[in-house]
């Protein structure tokens, strides 16, 4: 099959692109490289640097494409609180521009990568796709708005659409920005270095952590599985893990002494998250394979930023 992946040089995008290329598909990748790294892509991925709102570029890249994976987005929750207009422009405006280009060229299937963040703080656990969205950040609002655009205009224009609400994905190659890094990768880094591990809030807030390889399997299944049109499907591990529990697992793997410091909570008010995976199993045949401890070990072994430090701690 022929695929276009937007956000192809990012964490999930590059993992997906490389796996599809390994399976001998023809893969084109588009990324503006605001956070992505083209060196993460294997040579068989045909990469183009560019913006997802660049329609002439999209018209060229979409020729003969069977399915689009749309991952291009700004994803930092704290940053979205400061720059909501930018998040709307990229995450919503970019999505609409892509859908218009798909209509113009005649591409008939898109897999939109949304986020479990659209549920916000919701007492209905585990979270079913039928739960009422309650976004608590501009990032989550932009993802939910993009979902609605994809489903609505896809239906009007005859484009098959499926939105995957990915929960807290982690794994080798995940971007580690200086401010507001992802919790799993930051905790691995802090623990390897020793000294202090900072926990925001009381550490009892939970997330559903899912390893990147499991997410990729779900995304690949979504390209060809039947009867997905207009569906929203959760992708997680299906286990609720608190930040304290996450740290305990990390410390059981890494032989390091740390001091735990509790800081004022800075997250956007989400206390619990766990994905209900019933629909994913039914529609995608998706059953996650890699539990948290194994995923953390694989991350430490595969990620060049951690590998040597991890060897020295064993």
Q: Alpha helices of the chain — where are they, by DSSP H? A: 11-22, 55-61, 77-82, 84-87, 94-105, 138-157, 183-193, 212-224, 243-253, 278-284, 292-302, 307-313
pLDDT for res 269: 65
Question: Mind telling me the catalytic residues?
Answer: 139
Query: CA–CA separation, 185 vs 115, rounded Å?
Result: 18
Non-local (6+) Cβ contacts of 39 within 8 A are none
Tell me, what's the pLDDT at 265?
A: 60
Distances (CA, A) of 22 to 8, 19, 43, 195, 287: 15, 5, 11, 40, 22
Bridge partners of 235, per DSSP, are 166
**Residues of the chain where predicted confidence (pLDDT) is lower than 70:** 265-269
Q: Which of 15, 61, 56 is nearest to 216 (CA)?
A: 15
* Residue reference for tokens 């990768």: 185
- Cα separation, 174 vs 170, in Å, equals 7
> Which two three-digit tokens encode residue 308?
């040597």
* Residues 232-254 as b or e (16 or more Cβ within 10 Å = b): bbbbbbbbbbbbeebbebbbebb
Question: Considering only CA atoms, which of 65, 26, 24 is closest in space to residue 46?
Answer: 26
Ordered alpha helix ranges (H), 2-47: 11-22
Structure tokens at 7: 């956000």
The total number of residues shown for the chain amounts to 314
Return the pLDDT at 307: 92
* DSSP-assigned letter for residue 133: P
Give DSSP secondary structure letters for 162-227: EEEEE-EEE-TT----SSS--HHHHHHHHHHH-EEEEEETTS--EE-EEEHHHHHHHHHHHHH-SS
Q: What is the pLDDT of residue 104?
A: 97
pLDDT value at residue 195: 83
Calculate Rg over the CA atoms of the chain: 19
CA-CA distance, 162 to 219, in Å (whole number)?
Answer: 10
């Amino acid at each position: 099959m022929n695929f276009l992946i937007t956000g192809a040089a990012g964490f999930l995008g590059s993992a997906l692109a490389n796996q599809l290329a390994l399976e001998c598909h023809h893969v084109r990748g588009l990324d503006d490289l605001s956070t992505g790294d083209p060196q993460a892509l294997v040579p068989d991925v045909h990469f183009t640097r560019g913006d997802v709102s660049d329609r002439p570029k999209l018209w060229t890249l979409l020729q003969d494409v069977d399915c689009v994976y749309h991952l291009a987005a700004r994803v930092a929750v704290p940053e979205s609180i400061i720059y909501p207009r930018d998040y709307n422009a990229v995450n919503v405006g970019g999505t609409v521009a892509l859908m218009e280009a798909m209509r113009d060229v005649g591409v008939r299937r898109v897999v939109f990568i949304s986020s479990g963040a659209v549920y916000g703080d919701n007492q209905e656990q585990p979270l079913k796709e039928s739960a009422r969205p309650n976004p608590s950040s501009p990032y989550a609002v932009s993802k939910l708005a993009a979902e609605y655009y994809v489903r609505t205009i896809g239906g009007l224009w005859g484009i098959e659409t499926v939105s995957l609400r990915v929960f807290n994905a982690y794994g080798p190659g995940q971007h580690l920005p200086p401010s507001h890094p992802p919790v799993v990768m930051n905790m691995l880094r802090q623990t390897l270095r020793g000294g202090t591990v900072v926990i925001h809030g009381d550490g009892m807030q939970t997330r559903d952590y899912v390893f990147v390889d499991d997410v990729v399997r779900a995304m690949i299944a979504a390209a060809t599985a039947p009867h997905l049109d207009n569906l929203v499907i959760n992708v997680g591990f299906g286990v609720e893990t608190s930040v304290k529990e996450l740290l305990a697992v990390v410390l059981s793997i890494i032989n390091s002494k740390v001091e735990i410091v509790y800081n004022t909570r800075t997250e956007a008010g989400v206390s619990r998250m766990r994905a209900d995976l019933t629909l994913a199993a039914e529609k995608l045949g998706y059953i996650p394979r890699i539990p948290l401890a194994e995923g953390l070990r694989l991350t430490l072994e595969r990620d060049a930023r951690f590998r040597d430090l991890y060897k020295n701690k064993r």
